[in-house]
Amino acid sequence: MQHSRSARALAFARARRAAQDWSDPYRPQGKLYPAVCKQCGATEWQGRWRWDEPLPDLPRVVCPACERIRDGAPAHVVELTGELPPWWNEVRGILGRVESGEVLEHPLERIMKVEVGDDRVRVATTGVHIARRLTAALIRRFRHQLRLSFAADRTTVEWVEPRVRRG
Ligand SMILES: [Zn+2]
């Protein structure tokens, strides 16, 4: 069944709110000491992770994103399915662009794995915010070619039209 436009907007708004309220179990609260991730080099200061030049002698830890990658435990999965193949190269470009923009500002928001299966591509992320941004970028580009469904740990994006209507 095709979602109506307003139902989709509502579902997207609900997913956005859920992302805002999300608290990462990989990110213990109240650990406010400065530290540097020994895997990726991101630094933490007062609970915020950045790509600052680390000071010498910072405690070496593993950041939540690298922990998730190590454990194979995504925060969210965006599943791309349906009539995706004709668009896959372009979609792959969008994923790359969104990630490089996002990770620069937010070191914990990364794509951890892109798994290309027979009938779907699974994009596993280390945070929910990048998953939401990926979905938003796909909606902006493909609009009504997409059918969406949102769950707490998964967003499914299905291409329902094989061709773009022009004009
Ligand atoms: Zn790290």
Domain that holds residue 147: 5-23+72-159
pLDDT (tens digit per residue) in 67-116: 999 999 999 999 999 999 999 999 999 999 999 999 999 999 999 999 99
Give the distance (Å) from ligand 1 centre to CA of residue 161: 39
- Distances in Å between the alpha carbon of 48 and those of 17, 149, 157? 21, 31, 31
User: Which two tokens mark 24?
Assistant: 């990462």
Give the distance (Å) from ligand 1 centre to CA of residue 91: 26
Give the distance (Å) from ligand 1 centre to CA of residue 115: 21
Count how many domains the chain has. Answer: 1
Q: What's the distance, CA 79 to chain centroid?
A: 11
Asked whether residue 38 carries a pLDDT value surpassing 90, the answer given is yes
Count of H helices and E strands in the chain? 4, 9
Give the distance (Å) from ligand 1 centre to CA of residue 121: 25
Give the distance (Å) from ligand 1 centre to CA of residue 53: 14
Quick one: pLDDT at residue 14? 86
Amino acid letter at 132? R
Q: Report yes or no on 120 lying in a domain.
A: yes
Q: Report yes or no on 128 lying in a domain.
A: yes
Q: Report yes or no on 32 lying in a domain.
A: no
As a whole number of angstroms, the distance between CA 149 and CA 132 comes to 12
pLDDT (tens digit per residue) in 41-62: 999 887 889 998 877 888 899 9
DSSP states of 79-108 as a string? EEEES-GGGHHHHHHHHHHHHHHHHHH-TT
Q: Report yes or no on 65 lying in a domain.
A: no
Q: Report yes or no on 28 lying in a domain.
A: no
Q: Which residues contact 45 (CB under 8 A, 6 or more apart)?
A: 34, 52
Quick one: pLDDT at residue 4? 63
Q: Report yes or no on 106 lying in a domain.
A: yes
Q: Report yes or no on 148 lying in a domain.
A: yes
Q: Report yes or no on 164 lying in a domain.
A: no
Give the distance (Å) from ligand 1 centre to CA of residue 58: 14
The pTM score is: 0.83
